[in-house]
Structure 1
Amino acid sequence: MSDFDVTAADSIDLARLRRFVAVAEELHFARAAKGLRISRQALSATVIELENELGTRVFVPGASPTQLTEDGAELLTHARALISAQEQAEREQKPEAPASLRVGFVPGVTVSKWARIWGDRLPDHPLEVVGVAQGEQEAALREGRIDLCFVRLPIDRTAMNAIPLWQETPVAVVQKDDALSLLETISPADLAEEHLQDGSDIDQAVDTLALVAAVGGATIVPQSIARLHHRRDLVYRPISDTEFTEIALAWPAGTDSELLEEFVGIVRGRSANSSRGVAAAEPERRAAAKPARKTTAKKPAAKQQPARQGKGRKPGARRGR
């Protein structure tokens, strides 16, 4: 029976123990060296040093394929525990990541302006921007996949907070050589004889426009969608007497946070100095920085001199008779 004391490995640096574990798990020096991105010779030298330091063989000499000795198997279990304990300690000491915010947007919405302002004002808090299918906009918010979302109304307002932002111009999309393409504005009456392709499913807009390009007719979509999926063989024209679609910023009720309020403020145009987080402390800072007004004694009012007769006459001038 071996008198090997496995606790002797406690004084060995983890880098060498990790190399031993790699060979012990692969049971192949060449593969282990490749995984560690070191040479096979360097790995073999590390194992030899380890065996000399521990005073025991951890691999069966000359065995093919590579095999662990009984002491080697005991060292493998102990080394794994040491490595696991060190990794756990590093995780506990690692500072928490700064709070971040996840913002979704449906097709046709561009959020780069607000993301840029966020980066300037809150560089220590990452902003994750996520594209969301319109059909998933409410589910993504309910399930917590995103914190806020630029949505296309309508949505269920009973469980969502929503701030309407802007309306989208509806456009009719027709083939480039269609007679309607000559008009600056198209009315519903102009479309009476056209075959209308259903454009209500925004997520399938690219297929709907391809269908118009292939077989003709027309479809009605928000202008932002027509621009997003622009094709050279199609044109779009504003359409009159048609309901506008509306974009809003929405988030689940009861999930307000400081970061969420900051982003809402940015979207609503609130300046950096007037944001909620800054505005609350601003009056106190101004009051503390403002010196107390000095009170000075008022000068006594000058005594009024009695008016002189003949005020305004030149010296020596005679009064006329």
Structure 2
Amino acid sequence: MCTSLTYQTTMGDQFLARTMDFGFELEGRPVAIPRDHHFTGAVNDDGFDAPYSFVGTGRNLNGYVLIDGVNEYGVSAAALYFAGQAHYNDQPTEGAINLAPHDVLMWVLGNVKSTAELGERLSEINIVNAAAPLLNIVVPLHWIISDRSGATYVLEPEEDGLHYLKNPVGVMTNTPDFEWHMKNLSNYVALQPTPHPDRQYGDTTVKAFGPGSGALGMPGDYTSVSRFVRTVYMRQNTTAVDTDAEAVNALSHMLNSVEIPKGVKIKADGSADYTQYRAYMSMDEPAFYIQPYGDQTITRVALTDDLMKADHPTEYALSETQQFNAVN
């Protein structure tokens, strides 16, 4: 359920991309949040303010909820499922910014200019058990956050507190925790894009069955563990590109390796997880790109001055007629 990765062009432009893999129909679409927007919080009546503008995937559920995006300073983030390990506080804390899990991403994008600033301000927030609209459950989440410098972190709320971890491989999936995934990479050090050499067994020389033998053993299933390994490999070895348009194209091809078609991943309750959309956040433009399951056309929404200064959030309905670079 969800894979994310960062990517840098040869010109130094930074991207964060993600798949949204879920069984319940989220019906997300591009939403631009203007500066100084006030969010009504799920924890208490105070809510929170977002001084900075951002754009990402969201929906108006008696107030907008976004699950990924990029802000005007190039900070980009995505919320991913962290089932079985996410731990939140039971009560609000006086003097803290009390946030429901589904509020965290909006607070981050609306309030920080860098990953370093987020690290300095984490002590201000208290994540509280509060149900998300539409799903009506407390959503178990962790977050990947990146900025224009390329600095990338993972934020994980566990029983012993918030963990804000540097992410040197630029990839995140789901449970287990990030440190476990990093240790597991040691099981795959033999993966390489070039063929393995011939092997001699006694008097017999054994040759590989054609190119691609360097990736033998790379896991191909849809578990979070396998998707993490596969995406680290793709990110490391995909040919570098120069332009932003080429970066979106490259990211789309990388995420093809973890995209989940309808019907191939059935959960115990009979529901089917599938990749409802792929999103690409350009931190240097800044701009948001979305590629829905039903129509592989990529739609782009750039964070313009008009959107940042608007009186209300601006929502874009996806349709089959939209084209790449449709919204400037």
Report the TM-score when normalising by structure 2.
Answer: 0.20
Who wins on radius of gyration, i.e. which is larger? 1
Which structure features the higher share of helix residues?
1
Looking at secondary structure, tell me which structure has more strand per residue.
2
